[in-house]
Amino acid sequence: MKAVICGAGRYTRNLLGRLGDRWRITLIDASEKALKELMDTHATVAKVLAGDAASPVLLDKAGLGETDYFLALTDNDKVNLAAVRFARKAGVPHILSVLYDLSLEAKFQKLDVHLLLPGNMVGNTLYHYLQDPRIQVFSVARGTGEVVEIEVTRDNWIAGMSVTVLEDPEWRLAGLYRAGEWMPLTGELMLAEGDRLILLGKRNFFRSVCSVLACGHMPFPAPWGRGLMIVLNGDEGAETLEEGMYLLRNTRVGHVSILYDAVDMPDPTAHIDRKNVRHDIRLHPMDGRLTDTVKTLCRKDQIGLVVMRPLGRSFLKSISRPETIALAHELACPLLIARNSNPYDRILVPFNGTAMAALALETAVGLAEQIGALVDAAVVQEPDFIHGESRESWSDKTFKKVREISHIHKVKIGEIECRGNPVKEITALAERYQLMVVGSTNPQKELLTPHVGELLVERTPCSVLILASGAP
Amino acid sequence: MITSQQTALLLVVLAILIVPGISRILRVPSMVVEIIFGVILGKSVLKLEFTGEWLPFLAHLGFLLLMFRAGMEIDFTMLKRQSRGQLMFQVLFFMVTLGLATLAATLLSRGFFVALMLSTTSLGLVMPTLRETGMSRTPMGQDILIAATLADFMTLFGITFYVLYIRQGIDWRFFLPIPLFLGFGILLRIGRVWVWWHPAGAERILGIQEDAQEIGVRLSMALLFLFVALSELAHLEPVLGAFLGGSLLAYIFREKPLLETKLSAMGFGFLIPVFFIHVGMQFDLTHIMKPEMILFSLKLLGAAVTVKMAPAALLLFRGRKPREVFQAGVLLSSRLSLIIAAAAIGVENNLIKPEIKDAVVFMALVTCFLGPTLFKLITPTVGSGGPNDVVK
- Give domain limits for chain B: 2-378
Q: What is the pLDDT of residues B342-357, one digit of tens each?
A: 998 899 889 999 889 9
pLDDT at B390: 33
CA distances in angstroms from A98 to A105, B100, B190, listed in the order given? 10, 96, 75
pLDDT at B326: 92
pLDDT at A430: 95
pLDDT at A443: 87
Q: Which of B186, B189, B203 sits opposite A383 (nearest CB)?
A: B203
pLDDT at B391: 32
Which chain B residue's Cα is nearest to A425?
B197
Name the amino acid, one letter, at B331.
L
Name the amino acid, one letter, at A397.
K
Task: In whole angstroms, give the CA distance from residue B361 to residue A297.
Answer: 74
Strands (E), A37-152: 45-50, 69-72, 94-98, 114-116, 136-140, 145-151
Contact state of A450 with B197 under an 8 Å Cβ cutoff? yes
pLDDT at A462: 95
Q: Would you say residue B201 has pLDDT above 50?
A: yes
> Which is nearest to B277 in space by CA: B45, B68, B33?
B33
- The alpha-helical segments, DSSP class H, found in A235-314 are 237-250, 290-300
> Which is nearest to A376 in space by CA: A464, A436, A428, A418?
A436
DSSP state for residue A94 in the 8-state scheme: E
| CA A255 and chain centroid, separation | 21
Contact state of A388 with B202 under an 8 Å Cβ cutoff? no
User: Domains in chain A, please, with CATH?
Assistant: 2-116 (3.40.50.720), 120-215 (3.30.70.1450), 216-471 (3.40.50.12370)
Q: Would you say residue B382 has pLDDT above 60?
A: no
The shares of helix, strand and coil residues in chain A, as percent rounded to the nearest 5, are 35, 25, 40
Mean pLDDT for the stretch of residues B118-144: 82
pLDDT at A337: 95
Contact state of B200 with A420 under an 8 Å Cβ cutoff? yes
pLDDT at A211: 63
Residues of A in contact with B192 (CB under 8 A): 449
Task: In whole angstroms, give the CA distance from residue A358 to residue A350.
Answer: 10
What confidence tier does B169 reach under pLDDT thresholds 50, 70, 90? confident
Mean pLDDT for the stretch of residues B128-143: 80
pLDDT at B384: 41
Mean pLDDT for the stretch of residues B188-205: 89
Which chain B residue's Cα is nearest to A420?
B199
pLDDT at A467: 94
What confidence tier does B297 reach under pLDDT thresholds 50, 70, 90? very high
pLDDT at B389: 35
Residues of A in contact with B190 (CB under 8 A): 448
Q: Would you say residue B260 has pLDDT above 90?
A: no
Mutate to test the interface with B, among A386, A390, A449, A456 (most CBs of B within 10 A): A386
Q: Which of B75, B78, B195 sits opposite A386 (nearest CB)?
A: B195
A450 touches chain B (CB under 8 A): yes
CA distances in angstroms from A315 to A321, A325, A459, B188, listed in the order given? 10, 16, 15, 22
C-beta of residue B207 within 8 angstroms of C-beta of residue B259 = yes
Contact state of A384 with B200 under an 8 Å Cβ cutoff? no
Task: In whole angstroms, give the CA distance from residue A227 to residue A281.
Answer: 10
**Is domain B2-378 in CATH 1.20.1270.10, yes or no?**
no
Q: How far A189 CA lies from chain B's nearest CA (Å)?
A: 55
Residues of A in contact with B196 (CB under 8 A): 386, 421, 450
Residues of A in contact with B189 (CB under 8 A): 447-449
Work out the angle at residue A169's Cα, subtended by the Cα atoms of residues A165 and A170, and round it to the nearest 5 degrees.
Answer: 100
Is the ipTM above a cut-off of 0.85?
no
What confidence tier does B188 reach under pLDDT thresholds 50, 70, 90? confident
CA distances in angstroms from B303 to A413, B284, B298, B313, B343, listed in the order given? 65, 22, 9, 16, 16
pLDDT at A86: 92
Q: Residue B164: how many CB atoms within 10 A of its CB?
A: 21
Residues of B in contact with A455 (CB under 8 A): none
Residues of B in contact with A383 (CB under 8 A): 199, 202-203, 208
C-beta of residue B310 within 8 angstroms of C-beta of residue B103 = no
Task: In whole angstroms, give the CA distance from residue B121 to residue B156.
Answer: 11
Task: In whole angstroms, give the CA distance from residue A360 to residue A352.
Answer: 11
Q: Could you say which residues of chain A have pLDDT below 70? A: 128-134, 142-143, 154-157, 207, 210-218, 234, 264-266, 270-279, 316-318, 390-391, 470-472
Q: How far B254 CA lies from chain A's nearest CA (Å)?
A: 4
pLDDT at B196: 92
Task: In whole angstroms, give the CA distance from residue A334 to residue A328.
Answer: 7
What confidence tier does B11 reach under pLDDT thresholds 50, 70, 90? confident
Mutate to test the interface with A, among B73, B193, B249, B254 (most CBs of A within 10 A): B254
Q: Which of A388, A420, A450 sits opposite B193 (nearest CB)?
A: A450
Which chain A residue's Cα is nearest to B392?
A389
Contact state of B77 with A387 under an 8 Å Cβ cutoff? yes
Task: In whole angstroms, give the CA distance from residue A233 to residue A312.
Answer: 10
Residue A255, beta-bridge partner list: A227, A280
Mean pLDDT for the stretch of residues B129-153: 83
